[in-house]
Chains A and B, each alone.
Chain A
């Protein structure tokens, strides 16, 4: 029997890696991948606590999180394609149309 806190610690570690990716990388695609890492960290926490409370509610919410991830990936990648068509870049620093 693995202590539930280990799952939460693993979730925190994966979450932090995702946050580092979002904050430090310049490639928009890798920022999107870091968001996937963050969502996976959330899923680990949800499933760990669902096992702890002996209820499937957490796993049901993990399914909703995966649904969200799919929707987010579709829209985000559509945005990246539109962006690349207009500005010829995937660099987050050069996307400053709304800045002044």
Chain B
């Protein structure tokens, strides 16, 4: 019973603060609400016994990416944006499209999951030691993708430096 209540609270917090993210006028407020969402998602990871991802979510997402966002928002002068309309003119169309996507997703989940219940779990032993298991999978099965991901980060780093440079010569 406790996991279900915890899940309900965390899901409600994640969805509500997600809505706050896209409705706030001030980008700094949006970032604060996004951090609340990320914490709720981290709690959901913990609920699913993904302890390593919980730590990665808090350290990397909240600690690194959000601080980067905050820095850029502080760098950019937002006084003009505060006075302008915050939504596009075609917002009803966008809302309709997103509503259709959600209806389709929920319908398919309901249909394929036979009333929100997936078929029984395949039998198997519970994985022991989440961090250890992830480390073994990362450095044995997924060695090449890890290398490619590190290359991607290098490319992104160079790209960000070149993009933010004052002048290309």
Q: Which residues of A contact B (CB under 8 A)?
A: 1-10, 12-21, 23-27, 29-30, 32-34, 36-37, 40, 43-44, 47-48, 50-57, 59-60, 62-64, 66-75, 77-82, 84-85, 89-93
Contact = CB atoms under 8 A, between A and B. Distances in A.
B41 A40 contact: yes
Interface in B133-169: 133-134, 137-138, 141-142, 145, 149, 152-153, 155-157, 159-164, 166
Interface string B1-39: 001100100010011001101100001001100100110
Contact of B164 (A2, A68, A82, A89): A82
Interface residues of B, number: 89
A63 B44 CA distance: 15
A9 B106 contact: yes
A12 B102 contact: yes
Contact of B30 (A1, A33, A77): A33
Given A77-B69, A77-B72, A13 B117 contact: no
A90 B27 CA distance: 11
Given A5-B109, A5-B117, A40 B156 contact: no
B159 A78 contact: yes
Contacts of B124: 54
Where chain B touches its partner, the secondary structure class is helix
Interface string B62-104: 0011001100110110101100111110110111011101100
Given A5-B118, A30-B21, A63-B138, 13 more contacts: A1-B3, A2-B4, A12-B105, A30-B22, A37-B37, A43-B57, A47-B48, A51-B50, A53-B122, A64-B149, A74-B157, A74-B159, A92-B88
B105 to A, nearest CB: 4
A17 to B, nearest CB: 4
A67 B146 CA distance: 10
A60 B48 contact: no
Contacts of B134: 56, 59-60, 63
Nearest to B153: A71
B50 A47 contact: yes
B22 to A, nearest CB: 4
Nearest to A54: B124
Contacts of B88: 23-26, 92-93
A59 B31 contact: no
A85 B72 CA distance: 12
A69 B37 contact: no
